[in-house]
Structure 1
Amino acid sequence: MDHLAAAARALAGEPDRVAALDHLVVAWRANHRWPELAELVEALSAEITRALTPIDAELGDPDYHAAWIARAAGATAHELEILIPGLFRGPLGKRIRERFDLLAPFADDPRMCAAFGRMIAEPPVTAAANFSLWAQLFARLKQAPDVRLRPILDQRLRSVGGASQFWPMLHQRALKLLRQLPNELPEPSAEQREQIAKLRERIAELAAAPPAALVRGDTPSLESELLAKVYANPDALEHRLVCADALLSQGDPRGEFIQLQLARQEHGGRPSKRERQLLAAHELSWLGDLGGVIERKSVRFEGGFPVYGEVLFESATQRAVIGNEAWATFREVDTDNVSLLTDPCMRGLRRAGGFGFAQLRELLEHLGPASGIERLGPVLVDQLPPFELEHLMKAEASWLSGVRELWLHLDQHDLSKEPDAFGWLFSTPLGRRLRAFRLSSFPFPSYDLREPPWPAWLDTFDGGDGWSRLERLSLDMSFLTLEFVREPQRRLLRVSTVISGGPAHYHLRDAERVLAPLRGRFDALEIVSRGAKPMVTTAALIFAEAAGFARFGHVHAPGAKTELGYEGWRRWRKLIERQGRAAKRLSKSRKRARKGTPKPRRAPATTSDGPWFRFADGVEKLGLGGSVSWLEFCGDELHVLGRTLGGLSADSLAPRWALEDRRHASVSCVAHDRGRGRLWLGTYKGATLLWDLAGRRELGRARFHRTEVRAVAVVPGRDLLLSVDRDRKLHEWAYEPGPGDEPVVMIPRASTTLAAPVTAMAVHPSGDSLALLAGSGRVSLRSVDDLSTDRVIGHVGPRAEVLRWAPGGDHLIAGRRDGSVVVWDADGTELTEVELHEAHVSALCSTPDGGALISAGKRVRVTNRGSGEELLVIEPGNGTIGSLAVSEDGAVLAVGAWRGVSCWSLRDGRLLGRYPGV
């Protein structure tokens, strides 16, 4: 089908703009995603948007989010122009995840590609919690490669970004996508160019005319009628089956989802993979207007419709969803909003909780036809007896006449846990109707009590005033729940536990202590394991023996929503905190509404690409901190890396200069390019920088490592640089000077992921091969021009850290932890192994002529490479030695040790000078 011709026909005469837009989007996908077609889509979309009602930009953030979610839940492709600005409306936090998920189905659209490009250019969120969102964004762009992204990606790569780990993640993904985008696209044919030109003219004509009335696409009437029947009688499964068939016939995935959940409801079992996929893709759109006020992680679907959620209202405008008929399918709700709980739309509600005694009082005093609520709780208790006790005693609770179970959750650790503290409950009209009572609190563990109070609770359950009417009493502790059940023919003790598999010995000890006082008080025992795995039989036997039973029932029920133990306490604690924050935001929005002042907008965060380091000349002190990890002679200076990177006078060891760390990046490793007078730096924050010593400025920089740069190297005679990080990512960089004095942002020429983390790296003097020493002790060679090659030449044992080429490149030398060194020929053939020290070889270097090898352990040894004769032994006596360097004339040896640098004569071993660390 010729979609360009179809779009032209749709715009002819009485134009059907929406149909034309759909054809243009399909034409864009089918024709290499030409930019010309993308321009047509965007122009027609802008013309259509003139007739649509936008989302009020003056709304406060919670109201805007709720309005955005409600609009996006049922949106079609022609409304994208209205929704896309929501991806940049902050503060976003976790809200952007919900907005992104609702727009993700439209990802293969030129307008969404442009929006994703803007997100790359101006990232709206950078927190690690949203890294998965960025992974999905780049995956979508890979599936729909749009060449218009090329300049955006290129510009992104030429910006270093901030100091967080977000930027290297973004740069790596941007570089990968840039390399996958086509460089050139096939040209449109003459006929296609003519069609595009005519379409452009027609869209311009429509845009010049007054906006045409455009009705937003509503739900088909048949679907509305079917949904209305489901909402009117949420317990009738036949309405859901009919609705599922109708939705399936229209190609709506919700029909399949309803059928899958109904089948599972009938036969049991866990959700299928297909069911989980459908829910992940469409959950927010199925929630519709409710998505803006429901805590998304809490939502639970059954029978194809939502049945549970935690509801928070953060603004007065959000309360508009209270009367929505979609609430009818909810059977359980946790919220502190009484208006929602008492609204007639909550006709399917059977449990309400997540509120305090103040809200309980309002529910008890509410008048109207009796609700279907059977269970109340958790009711969060912060005072015993409650401040509202007088009102609770007077309230007839006619609206809650069906309630038979109450669940109290003690939020405060110091509240009483004795049964006498709750006797007032059964003097209230509500309490006299109860048949089940549950008390939960994390500070209810057995180890916190000298004498377990369970016998007292059981005595009260048996004969206490009002308690004897109860059929079930449940007490939650740190890892289990005791449930006393009164049945017509027997008394049952049910023990529910979150323990999975084999419990720890202290769990068994505590369980024995809890259950022992109950021996002989019950006729039967049932053990219910709520963990992911069933509790092992031996542990169940210990529980049964402690309770005095030889026979018992053991049930594994992992899917049950019990909220036991510490996890349950933490969940309700978080709910209280969220409700408190929502109440504060609601109060602020009401105050602003009364004053008529809109909420001030926060300026978007910007990232600075300023210098990471500043050259400081004539410093008085050079802070070396702990061990000196790198030394290098350069003319009349000795360059040093400790806590700070700087230079000392080679003869007097007087401080000359230092690089001041402007972003607290901390240099982790250095390589010296002698021929060009440059330093190649790696930092603990993943940045890499090329520094010009003569010009005293940054030449180039990059931010492609997400973790600490472990080693850097310079390829002799070529403008090639290497760096490897803790995550095993090896990059090769080509430096090319740019115009002006601004540092060039470098992009990796090649990259590879290594098999193991690297502790040392050395480039052959010829610049052809690269030697790598892994933390496992593996030594391998790679070609500088092909980093994917990898040839293992030997192993030197774990935790080895020293690897060096001899000055002439004829030998490769590595140090072991046992004090020996291993020598290979340039082709990778192992030649010899020599023991030079009693323990760990911490540093190696050679004299400029290659005649002597200098190694450091607890002391420094100078060894003739040809004969193996020991020429000199130096004992710096200043702690662990971290680095060695020899002057260009071969006369002076610099030793970097703990908190200091010392220089020694290689002729007689005489100390020439010392600079202590500061």
Structure 2
Amino acid sequence: MPTPKLASLLEPANQGDWSRVLQGLLVAWRAAPNPELARCVVNVGNKLASEPAPSKDWDTLAKTQDAAVLATLLATLLDKGSVKARARLETLADWPLDPRIDRWVAGHFADPPFTSTGARPFWTRLAPLARRIQDTQAASTVLKARSGYDEEVDAEEFLARHVDRIRAELEAAKDTVLSEEEAKVLGKLDAALTEAAPPKPAREGDAKELLARVLEKPEDDEARAVLADILLEQEHPRGELIALQLEATRRELTAAEKKRERAILKTARKELLGPLDEVLKPDCVFTRGFLSHAALKQGSARAIASAIAKTVGHPLWATVEHLEGRGDSDVTTHEVMKSLRSLAHSDVGCAELAKWPRLEALVDTRSADEWLDLAKTPGAFPGLRRLDRTASLPQVADFLRTPLVARLEQLQLRLRLSNGDAEAAAALFDLVRESKVPEVTFRWVRLTVKDWSSGYRFTRTPSGQYSVHVFTTKMNDAHEDVVQADVLTALEQVARLKPETLTLAHQFETRVKTAVERRARELGATLDE
């Protein structure tokens, strides 16, 4: 196909035929790669990606080799993990050259999405796409990433070898120069793209301004309601989600409405989370249309830490009330986190958290010696109401008598027991009656990694007495024998306290089950099936 004159693309651009414009730009770029041409390809491709894609699955859509859907394909190529991505990369390797593919590939060398040994077949499939890079910006990105690899790290040494094998091809990528006339044509195409952008809502305050208002004052439900109206006009999924979840604060949603809410959360996660989608585990909670509870992805991969770092200070963090997971320090301490009230497994130090007036709930499984001193310090953790922490057995008695504990509503202490500790731990039950905490839980942990444990929750009743709930987690057969002794010892001690009610909810499955249930009944406990 002969290379078109760029000026010939102005007419289809003015007619809104952006697919034709994209095809013409790609033909021109393949004949004479130029970064400004590549930029225009990207912009036109993104314009087409904003339009509804054909309702086909990824593989079917990819086989069409339709340049208009490439941006959508690249955005979702990794959504099924590295194994599924291998075949998708092979499909993409058959596509004609495209600067968007070049830049997508280069971006993954700069910020690797998979670094485990098991993911190496992914990189083997990516190599042919890297070898054919023509875009100089993409080539430079890969070479720059190579200079930063630490060859003492296995994953980075592996990637370094990949880049070294194609270094000659990358260094051979050269730009062509646009004529003055061609540069003017690209400027006119840019102007046409701007004019083709969807018009702003013809009402006071556009969506962008209202979104900023919501994120500045997350408690402002009036602003959310107005934003919902505007986004509904634009057919943005957040508009419907806000409307549904605001309505849920006033009444019980119908079954159909609940089903629709689940569908939005399932299909529009990326639109709702933006760049936060890349760093969060699947089980996110949305409240009144925005993210409220989330857990960071975990792992030692450099890509995870890098992705989290890129989200620090992003405005969409402003509505998050609860955040869980290591690697959160820079995210959590940023001023944008104005709604944050609850943390679990944070990297932020206890002494720092003790200064936060808005912190209401905390799960901290680190064995921090400073906890006892902090709990005795006037003014520490001024807003804390719910605490779940790891403690050493010798410190528990003193900790339960601190000013901090006296004003908690819920307290859970995780105690790592060794053989012979159960009797000493059970003796702590007497201290619960001295405490003013409405709910206290002791969790005797036998294996921290898998949380194989038993627990005893004391809840103060209106009469001033306690109801006690004894429970276990699920564990393997060998640990059931060990935990059986913990449960029997605790049942004996609890029964001695004569609680108002005593219930047992266990997950034993071996012969231990019968023995524990029999003794529980003898002590007057009710089995919680």
State the TM-score, normalizing by the size of structure 1.
0.36
What per-residue deviation string (whole Å, max 9, x for no partner) do you get for residues 76-129 of structure 1? 844899xxxxxxxxxxxxxxxxxxx9xx99x97517659989xx9xxxx9xx96
Structure exhibiting the larger radius of gyration computed from Cα positions: 1
Q: Which residue of 2 aligns with 1:471?
A: 438
Give how far 1:527 is off: 5.5
Whole-Å Cα distance in 2 between the matches of residues 135 and 231 of structure 1?
Answer: 40
What secondary structure is seen at the aligned counterpart in 1 of 2:432?
helix
Q: Within the alignment, does 1:484 sit opposite 2:481 as a pair?
A: no
* Among candidates 305, 317, 321, match of residue 290 of structure 2: 305
What secondary structure is seen at the aligned counterpart in 2 of 1:301?
strand
Which structure has the highest helix share of the two?
2
Whole-Å Cα distance in 1 between the matches of residues 90 and 259 of structure 2?
Answer: 24
Q: Within the alignment, does 1:231 sit opposite 2:215 as a pair?
A: yes
Give how far 1:483 is off: 1.0
Whole-Å Cα distance in 2 between the matches of residues 270 and 545 of structure 1?
Answer: 47
| Matched-pair contact (CA < 8 Å) for 2:389–2:412 | yes
Give how far 1:361 is off: 0.7
* Among candidates 474, 485, 493, match of residue 468 of structure 2: 493
* Among candidates 306, 312, 316, match of residue 321 of structure 1: 312
Amino acid at match of 2:320: F
| Paired residues for 1:507-906 under 5 Å | 509=484, 511-521=487-497, 522-526=499-503, 543=517, 546=520, 552=526, 554=528
| Matched-pair contact (CA < 8 Å) for 2:18–2:48 | no
Amino acid at match of 2:462: P
What secondary structure is seen at the aligned counterpart in 2 of 1:484?
strand
Whole-Å Cα distance in 2 between the matches of residues 40 and 359 of structure 1?
Answer: 56
Q: Which residue of 2 aligns with 1:134?
A: 86
Q: Closer, same or farther in 2 for the Cα pair 1:394/1:79, shift >3 Å?
A: farther
| Matched-pair contact (CA < 8 Å) for 1:290–1:321 | no
Amino acid at match of 2:470: V
| Matched-pair contact (CA < 8 Å) for 2:517–2:527 | no
* Unmatched segments (≥5 aa) in structure 2: 1-5, 50-57, 102-117, 127-178, 298-303, 446-451
Q: Within the alignment, does 1:349 sit opposite 2:318 as a pair?
A: no
> What RMSD over aligned residues (CA atoms) do the two structures have, in Å?
5.9
Whole-Å Cα distance in 2 between the matches of residues 257 and 137 of structure 1?
Answer: 34
Q: Within the alignment, does 1:374 sit opposite 2:365 as a pair?
A: no
Q: Which residue of 2 aligns with 1:396?
A: 379
| Matched-pair contact (CA < 8 Å) for 2:503–2:526 | yes
Q: What percentage of aligned pairs have identical amino acids? A: 21
Whole-Å Cα distance in 2 between the matches of residues 226 and 80 of structure 1?
Answer: 26
Give how far 1:523 is off: 1.1
Q: Closer, same or farther in 2 for the Cα pair 1:8/1:488, shift >3 Å?
A: farther
Whole-Å Cα distance in 1 between the matches of residues 525 and 268 of structure 2?
Answer: 48
Amino acid at match of 2:493: P
Amino acid at match of 1:456: A
Whole-Å Cα distance in 2 between the matches of residues 492 and 270 of structure 1?
Answer: 39
Q: Which residue of 1 aligns with 2:427?
A: 456
What per-residue deviation string (whole Å, max 9, x for no partner) do you get for residues 221-245 of structure 1? 5322443454355456665455444
Q: Which residue of 1 aligns with 2:236?
A: 252
Whole-Å Cα distance in 1 between the matches of residues 328 and 230 of structure 2?
Answer: 35
| Matched-pair contact (CA < 8 Å) for 1:483–1:494 | yes
What secondary structure is seen at the aligned counterpart in 2 of 1:132?
helix
Whole-Å Cα distance in 2 between the matches of residues 338 and 224 of structure 1?
Answer: 29
Whole-Å Cα distance in 2 between the matches of residues 170 and 44 of structure 1?
Answer: 24
Give how far 1:311 is off: 5.0
| Matched-pair contact (CA < 8 Å) for 1:485–1:491 | yes
* Unmatched segments (≥5 aa) in structure 1: 1-6, 29-34, 55-74, 82-100, 153-162, 172-202, 411-415, 556-918
What per-residue deviation string (whole Å, max 9, x for no partner) do you get for residues 181-232 of structure 1? xxxxxxxxxxxxxxxxxxxxxx995435674676987995532244345435
Q: Within the alignment, does 1:408 sit opposite 2:383 as a pair?
A: no
Amino acid at match of 1:223: A
Whole-Å Cα distance in 1 between the matches of residues 20 and 514 of structure 2?
Answer: 62
Amino acid at match of 2:86: W
* Among candidates 18, 40, 57, match of residue 24 of structure 1: 18
* Among candidates 397, 411, 419, match of residue 437 of structure 1: 411
Whole-Å Cα distance in 1 between the matches of residues 96 and 307 of structure 2?
Answer: 45
Amino acid at match of 2:432: F
Q: Closer, same or farther in 2 for the Cα pair 1:365/1:237, shift >3 Å?
A: closer
Aligned residue-pair number: 412
State the TM-score, normalizing by the size of structure 2.
0.57
Q: Which residue of 1 aligns with 2:183?
A: 207
What secondary structure is seen at the aligned counterpart in 1 of 2:354?
helix
Which structure has the highest strand share of the two?
1
What secondary structure is seen at the aligned counterpart in 2 of 1:306?
strand
Amino acid at match of 1:39: V
Whole-Å Cα distance in 1 between the matches of residues 237 and 329 of structure 2?
Answer: 34
Whole-Å Cα distance in 1 between the matches of residues 519 and 234 of structure 2?
Answer: 60
Q: Closer, same or farther in 2 for the Cα pair 1:352/1:297, shift >3 Å?
A: same
Q: Within the alignment, does 1:360 sit opposite 2:350 as a pair?
A: yes
What secondary structure is seen at the aligned counterpart in 1 of 2:390?
strand
What per-residue deviation string (whole Å, max 9, x for no partner) do you get for residues 715-766 of structure 1? xxxxxxxxxxxxxxxxxxxxxxxxxxxxxxxxxxxxxxxxxxxxxxxxxxxx
What per-residue deviation string (whole Å, max 9, x for no partner) do you get for residues 56-94 of structure 1? xxxxxxxxxxxxxxxxxxx9844899xxxxxxxxxxxxx
What per-residue deviation string (whole Å, max 9, x for no partner) do you get for residues 643-688 of structure 1? xxxxxxxxxxxxxxxxxxxxxxxxxxxxxxxxxxxxxxxxxxxxxx
What secondary structure is seen at the aligned counterpart in 2 of 1:380?
coil
Q: Which residue of 2 aligns with 1:39?
A: 27
| Matched-pair contact (CA < 8 Å) for 1:527–1:540 | no
| Paired residues for 1:35-434 under 5 Å | 39=27, 47=36, 50=39, 77-78=45-46, 109-110=66-67, 113=70, 130-135=82-87, 166=121, 205-207=181-183, 211=187, 222-235=206-219, 240=224, 242-258=226-242, 266=252, 278-279=264-265, 281-291=267-277, 294-297=279-282, 299-310=284-295, 314=305, 318=309, 321-322=312-313, 324-334=314-324, 340-341=331-332, 343-355=334-346, 359-365=349-355, 370-371=357-358, 373-382=359-368, 385-386=369-370, 393-394=376-377, 396-397=379-380, 400-409=381-390, 416=392, 418=393, 420-425=394-399, 430-434=404-408
